[in-house]
Amino acid sequence: MIGQTNILVIYTGGTIGMVQDPKTMALRPLSFDILYKYLPVLENFNCTIDFYTFEPLLDSSNMNPSFYIHLATVIEEKYEDYDGFVILHGSDTMAYTASALSFMLENLNKPVIFTGSQLPIGMVRTDGRENFINSIEIATAKEYDTPVVPEVAICFENKLYRGNRTSKFNAEHFGAFVSVNYPLLAEVGVHIKYNQNLILKPNFKKLKALKTLDENITILKLFPGISSQAVEAILHTKDLKAVILETFGSGNAPTIPWFIDHLQDAITRGIIIYNVTQCKGGTVEMGKYETSAGLNKIGVIGGYDITTESAVTKLMYLLGSGYSQESIKQLLQTSLRGEMTV
């Protein structure tokens, strides 16, 4: 039995909040005052559901650090008034936003559940209804008056993932997300089966919303045949502070001298190089092969099994928090919000 709780649904944009205009047949944003028309089952929940709508609504491709700060601010301001939050968000960059929020909301002790859909909620075959209902139920779930999932998570296609462990891998199927390196937090069937030992535990400290992000980072994705000029251009980006180096396999990269020289020069200039594998599954093991031993020797930092999405937002958060470079290097190899396995 779900206890009486207050849930805030934050609609940022995305497919889930769209309905088809019966005259023009074009998709338009849903007015949430008629949401119960599409989801009458919500009236059966023993909870109060309020809505906050972003103005303007954003396609997830237009999300950026300013949006993350706005979203974190809304949660901070409403935190004491609600028992949990459900965020409706476009699926394309949902993993980035969920990762960012996980770092920005320090001492989070309430559910922040992201969801969306591949088809608009107003369509007959939409996956949005199920995703939305599941998210509300998970956000209201308590045990001994303590939230069952006091962390940032993504609920999609009957699965609950840790937000900073996910990547979108399918643009066509309802099962849009994958979390290869960390098991599901919960599975939704006849019952919702929570994997309690995998879920972060509350610390009951006061929430801190850390709202300074530094965008002076970039991604250098390796591919066979990448040129010296391309690598040099990226590493000389104006005001650059850190680079996520997307390597092959378990953290491997070319051993050709010019490539190592470019990286060494960047590190000498104070740029952090963070080694993250291109693979969806597996981990970076610096020095396992000769092709990563050279990176280790010059001071490239291994990212273990962190996702690119999480690496991007973790770097923005750390660089914006005023830590020394040595502290940042240590924290990049430390699990702060369950984002990596060390």
339 secondary structure, DSSP code: -
Given a contact cutoff of 8 angstroms between Cβ atoms, the answer to whether 156 and 130 are in contact is no
Structure tokens at 162: 């840790």
Exposed/middle/buried for residue 137 (C-beta within 10 Å: 0-12, 13-18, 19+): middle
Given a contact cutoff of 8 angstroms between Cβ atoms, the answer to whether 208 and 103 are in contact is no
SS3 189: coil
CA-wise closest residue to 149 among 158, 161, 141, 159: 141
- The rounded distance, in Å, linking the Cα atoms of 133 and 112 is 14
Greatest CA separation found in the chain? 66
- The rounded distance, in Å, linking the Cα atoms of 162 and 199 is 8
SS3 178: strand
Sequential DSSP letters for 85-138: EEEE--STTHHHHHHHHHHHEET--S-EEEE--SS-TTSTT-SHHHHHHHHHHH
- The rounded distance, in Å, linking the Cα atoms of 145 and 74 is 24
Given a contact cutoff of 8 angstroms between Cβ atoms, the answer to whether 111 and 149 are in contact is yes
Q: Does the annotation mark 15 as catalytic?
A: yes
- The rounded distance, in Å, linking the Cα atoms of 240 and 132 is 39
What are the two backbone dihedrals, phi and then psi, of residue 72, each rounded to the nearest 5 degrees?
A: -65, -35
Given a contact cutoff of 8 angstroms between Cβ atoms, the answer to whether 244 and 271 are in contact is no
SS3 38: helix
273 beta partners: 243
Active-site choice (5, 15, 115, 140):
15
Catalytic residues: 15
